[in-house]
Structure formats: structure tokens, C-alpha cells
Chain A
Amino acid sequence: MQALQIVISGMAQGCIYGLIALGLVLIYKTTETVSFAHGELMMLGAFAGFALMTLLGWPFWLAMLATIAVLALFGFGLERIVIRPILGQPAFSLVMLTIGIGYAARGLVTMIPGIGTETHTLPVPYKDQTWNVGGLVLNVEQMVVIAATAVLSAVLYAMFRYSKIGIAMQASSQNQLAAYYMGIPVKRLNALVWGLAAAVAAIAGVLLAPITFVYANMGFIGLKAMPAAVVGGFGSLPGALVGGLVIGVVEALSGFYLPEGFKDVAPYVVVLIMLVVRPNGLFGEKLRKKV
């Protein structure tokens, strides 16, 4: 029973990783950029939610929708202003750029007087509630995370699989130039993807906030989403979720059964093993260059 309890809490944590990894994969799938600023986007989402709910006193649902809209616009603008000018440059430039965006976002939030350096709680309606199911204590906050992640990944998966825009995104991910020749507005699509990914990050931020609090350095959790995305296979949306779950459960179990210290490195050990054994991840596509 205890093991089951640990697995469930690990799954909830894993869903957070999965949720952030979802945004990473979304960006990677279409623009082949790995965003090291994604954790910071999530942090911005959490702060936006906090500002709307606490400072302006908006109700939860309205604030949630507004946060998603604000972050989507932010992601859209970010792509337009800083990422589009270096389209087509080596991946390294983009990695450095996103690291820079992350630094700047974290620094700017910390600089907000009176708010940036404090730790805040987000007053969500389901705070501190628990369900008792057959001897298991289920935290409602964690259940909400799991449910939201499942719904979100299903929606995104369906969008990529069936909608016209999703298929256009897939095409542009395989070959941007060819996609452009086929009449796909690649640049506009990239901006859309960044907006979408930022919206997903905002959802992750608001969902994570009741569990970990809102503070400027919460974006570092994005570094644990990276292993989740790799384990799932970087180009696969369901893979991101499964990878997140694997990382979350392994972390929870190693925190309980292994000596102190193993919990923090468990995700990284898993990802190193994965990279050596199966570099394409669980669901990744296997592609080779033909000369």
C-alpha cells in the first residue's frame, strides 16, 4: 500500500515534468529548437496567475484563462522579436538564446520590488483537499495535475494527428524549406507553436503552483523536464507524458528506498542510461541521414 502511495505521488510529480516536457516537445517537433527557457515560461505563467488572482482578485477560472492568453501572446511575441531573426542558424545559437531568455526572465522577475524575492501561495479552490480511496490518500492538487496532463496531451496529440495546422507543423518539422515551397507559412507557424508552447507552460505553472509555491527560481524544474522529454523520445507528444511519468516514479521510489541524495540525481541517471541504451527514447522516430 505504501509503495502504491509513493508511486501515485511520483506520478503526480511526473505529470508536472510531462506537462513541461510537452511544451518542449511541441517546440522541438516543429522548429527543432530545444528551449532552455521553458521552465522560466512556466514560472512567468505562475506569476501571472498569482498576480491576477491575488493582486487583482480575479476568480480562479477567469484568471486561469487570462494567464493562458497572456502567456500565449508572450510566446508569440518572443518568437517574433528574438527567435525569428536567427531562424536557420545552428542549434547552438538557439540554445544559447533560450538560456539568455531564461536568465533575463528570472532576473527581471526577481527585480520586481516586494514580489520577486518572496515565495507565494496560489489560492486555488481545490487547495489542501484530499480524497480517501480504499486506504489511499489522494491529494486533489495532484489528481488535478494528472487529469489536466492527460487531457492536454490527448488534445495536442489529436491536433497534430488530424488537424490541418498540426499536419502543416509536422511537415515544417521535417523540412522547413520544402514545407515553405508547399505553401506553408513556416515563420507564422513557428510563432504559433511558440505561443502554444507558452500557453502549455502557463497551464503547467498554474497547476504546479499549489504544490510547490510560486517563486522566481521555480523554473529550474524545467531542467528535470528535459530528461523526461529525452526518455520519451524528443519528438513524441505521448512520449513526453510517459517520460515524465517514468522520471517522476523513479524519483519518488529512489527517494524512498535508496539513501539520501539519490532522489535528486535519479532523473539524470535515468536519462544517461537511456541515451546510452536507446538514444531515440521510448517513442522516438529513428532517422538516418542518407548521403
Chain B
Amino acid sequence: MRFLFKTTYVQDIRLVKHGGQAFWYGLLVLALLASPWLLSDYWLAQLTFVLIYAVVGLGLMLLSGYTGLFSLGHAAFLGVGAYTEAALGNAGWPFPLSFAAAALISAAAGVVVGLPALRVKGIYLAIATLAFGFIVVEVFARWESVTGGNAGKHLKAPSAFGWSADDDVSFYFVCLVVAIGATFAILNLLRSPTGRAFVAIRDSEVSAQSMGIHLAYYKTLSFAISAALAGVGGALYAHKLKFISPDQFDIIQSIDLVLMIVVGGIGSVHGAFLGAIFLITMPQVIALAKDVLPAVIGQAPGLQGAVYGFVLIGFVLFEPLGLYGRWLKLRTYLQIFPFYRRGMFKRQKSFLKSDRLK
């Protein structure tokens, strides 16, 4: 049992709240550092994908979970990052430079999409980002001189100044450094005035505005940061796959990304990582289940889609806080044992409040 006795406000915004956190996250980082020697090649590759998706998820979490803006076209930013990295990397730019360029160009694309966000809200924004996603994928497919069109594009291994991440282990460390860096950046952002402004906008635009928050500036900023992280993730994604084509960045991928943060737990940094783990392990679990299930169900082509659909429905209905919410409940149960009550996390029943008048 741990009691946090707060004596100053500084304790509220401290990154590490207590020794237990320092211990467990330190252990996690150690395990991640040691994993190339603990895991087989296959699982190391999966772990790399988890880290890449987590970076993208952090960006989307900032946008949807903390600023309250929808995006159903986030794969487009992933694609912008991936193609920028492919074009510049193949042109011989050193990795850090092309990587930064991928982030910057994605951020610029984010600002462009953020502009309609200043006028439209809620569902209209979702449709605007959806439309943007479709247009960008079409541009990827048609702008053949840069993107290679539908035939796709191959990438060289990331290299800079004589150093090259051409094997799986060194690339894993690149991803690990980026993922940890992105996590710290987001955590720091969220405890800064900017992050608080984002949360205020999410909770109520009117009250945020009356507190002196410039809506246009902060919404655009949120889009830019989110898109930059997606671009960073896209650059890593491209290097991991070594081959990119426009259909990797279509609406299905966008929905997968949203699914990731909803399942992980919207509005929590942990959720991005838990969601990424879910997104990567789910196809494996389904593949394993295929052998167990009768052939009529197990070998049917639509199984994965149906399972994703039911998982999504299940999470929205029964666990809107996602995997992280489930963990919070479990932890609370253990911490205050035996005083856990059923209704502690119960949602309030209500009628819909009209969005149109917001």
C-alpha cells in the first residue's frame, strides 16, 4: 500500500510520481534493451513493429485522445513520412536529415489538414480527414516520378556518415530510441501549458476559449505534432518493410490506427503502446486460432475482419477506456483490496447532448 502525500503542486506535474514507477519503467527499459538477445528474430521483428505503431499511436492519441479531434485519414501522414524518407534516403541523404525532413513535411501536411479543422467540428472533421486520406493515396499512386506509383518503391537501409542500420538488431535500437524519445516528448508536452490547452479544448471549446486559449493556433499545433509523429512512424515503417506501395496507406490502415488507440484506451499514453501490442499480436492470435477452429470458420477469408469488428464493438460497449482502463480497474482492485465496489468506474446514463450547438 502506497500513500502519496502531496505537499507542493510540483508533485502533480512530476514525470515520475513515485519510486515504484521509476522501478517498473526502468525494468521495462532494461528488458527492451536486452530483448535482441532474449527474443528470436521473428519476435524481435514483431517488437519493432509494436514500437513503430506505438509512435504513430502516440501522435494519434495526442490528436484524438487529448485534443478531441477526429482523424480518419491518419495513414496519409504515415504515407507522407514513408515516401519522404524513401525519396530522400534513396537520394543519398544521411538518415537523421531525411528522418527530420519526413517529420517536417508530414507536419506541414498536418497543418494543411488542420486548416479546415478550424471551421468544422466533430464528424465533419472526420469526413474532411477521410477525404484528405483518399486524395493523398491517389497522389501516391499517380505521382510516379517520386513515389513509383502502384508498382511501389524499394528502400535502402538507413545510413549516415559511414554508419548503417542494415541488420535487424541495429534497426530495432533505432526504433527503440525513437519510441522512447517520442514518449518522453509527449509526456513532457502533456504536462506543459500547451498540453493542458489541448485537454481544455477537448473538454470544452467554449470554456477553453474563454480562458484565453487561441483555438486556431492550438488545434493546428495539435494536428502538426500528431502528423509529425505519424510521419516519423511512417519513415521507420518504410525502412522496416523495405518496400512501400500506396495501398499500405489507405482507409483500412487509417481505421486500423484508430482501432489501435480505441482498443488501447483513448486518452492515455499507455493506450498507444497497449493498442500497438494488440494490433500486432491480433493477426498472430487469429492465425493460431485458425488451426483450432473447424475449417468452415477457421479457413474463411473474412475471419480477421469479423474478429476486428466484434473486438471493436465489444470495447466500445463494455470497456470504453480500452485495455488501459481494464488495467486501471485491475490495479485499483488489487490496491484497495478488499474494498473494490462494482460501480466505481460506472458510466453515467444520459441522453445525447446535441453536438450541432457546440
Q: Tell me whether A92 and B64 are in contact (CB under 8 A).
A: yes
Interface-side segment among B38-46, B116-124, B165-173: B116-124
Closest chain A CB from B57 CB (angstroms): 15
Q: Tell me whether A107 and B304 are in contact (CB under 8 A).
A: yes
Tell me, yes or no, whether A99 is within 8 Å of chain B by CB.
Answer: yes
Closest chain A CB from B274 CB (angstroms): 16
Tell me, yes or no, whether B285 is within 8 Å of chain A by CB.
Answer: no
Tell me, yes or no, whether A216 is within 8 Å of chain B by CB.
Answer: yes
Q: Among the listed A85, A101, A235, A265, which residue makes an inter-chain contact with B309, where contact means beta carbons less than 8 Å apart? A: A101
User: If A96-B312, A230-B127 touch, does A107 touch B350 (CB 8 Å cutoff)?
Assistant: no
For A97, list chain B residues within 8 Å (CB).
312-313, 316-317
Q: Tell me whether A275 and B124 are in contact (CB under 8 A).
A: yes
Q: Tell me whether B317 and A86 are in contact (CB under 8 A).
A: yes
Closest chain B CB from A180 CB (angstroms): 6
User: If A275-B119, A287-B357 touch, does A264 touch B134 (CB 8 Å cutoff)?
Assistant: yes
Closest chain B CB from A236 CB (angstroms): 12
B115, B132, B312, B355 pick with most chain A CB within 10 angstroms: B312
Q: Tell me whether B312 and A108 are in contact (CB under 8 A).
A: no
Q: Tell me whether A177 and B306 are in contact (CB under 8 A).
A: no
- The CA of A91 and the CA of B244, in the complex, are separated in Å by 34
Tell me, yes or no, whether A23 is within 8 Å of chain B by CB.
Answer: no
Tell me, yes or no, whether B97 is within 8 Å of chain A by CB.
Answer: no
Which secondary structure characterizes the binding site on chain A? helix
Q: Among the listed B122, B130, B307, B309, which residue makes an inter-chain contact with A223, where contact means beta carbons less than 8 Å apart? A: B130
Closest chain A CB from B12 CB (angstroms): 26
Closest chain A CB from B124 CB (angstroms): 6
For A38, list chain B residues within 8 Å (CB).
none
Q: Tell me whether A272 and B132 are in contact (CB under 8 A).
A: yes
- The CA of A86 and the CA of B351, in the complex, are separated in Å by 9
Tell me, yes or no, whether B328 is within 8 Å of chain A by CB.
Answer: no
Interface-side segment among B176-184, B187-195, B226-234, B294-302: B294-302
A177, A186, A272 pick with most chain B CB within 10 angstroms: A272
Give the B-binding residues of A (Cβ under 8 A): 31-32, 34, 82, 85-89, 91-93, 95-97, 99-111, 113, 116-117, 173-177, 180, 186, 216, 223, 226-227, 230, 234-235, 260-261, 264-265, 267-269, 271-272, 275-276, 279, 285, 287-289, 291
The 4 closest A-B pairs by CB, nearest first: A110-B302, A107-B306, A104-B309, A103-B309
List 19 extra interface pairs beyond A82-B313, A116-B302, CB under 8 A. A32-B356, A34-B127, A87-B350, A87-B351, A91-B122, A99-B259, A99-B312, A104-B310, A109-B302, A110-B306, A176-B352, A186-B351, A223-B130, A223-B251, A227-B127, A230-B127, A265-B134, A279-B124, A285-B356
29 A-B contact pairs sorted by A residue (CB < 8 Å): A34-B126, A82-B317, A87-B351, A92-B64, A92-B266, A93-B316, A95-B70, A96-B258, A96-B259, A96-B312, A100-B308, A102-B309, A103-B255, A103-B306, A104-B306, A104-B308, A106-B302, A108-B302, A111-B303, A113-B296, A176-B354, A216-B302, A226-B130, A268-B130, A271-B131, A272-B116, A272-B131, A275-B124, A289-B358
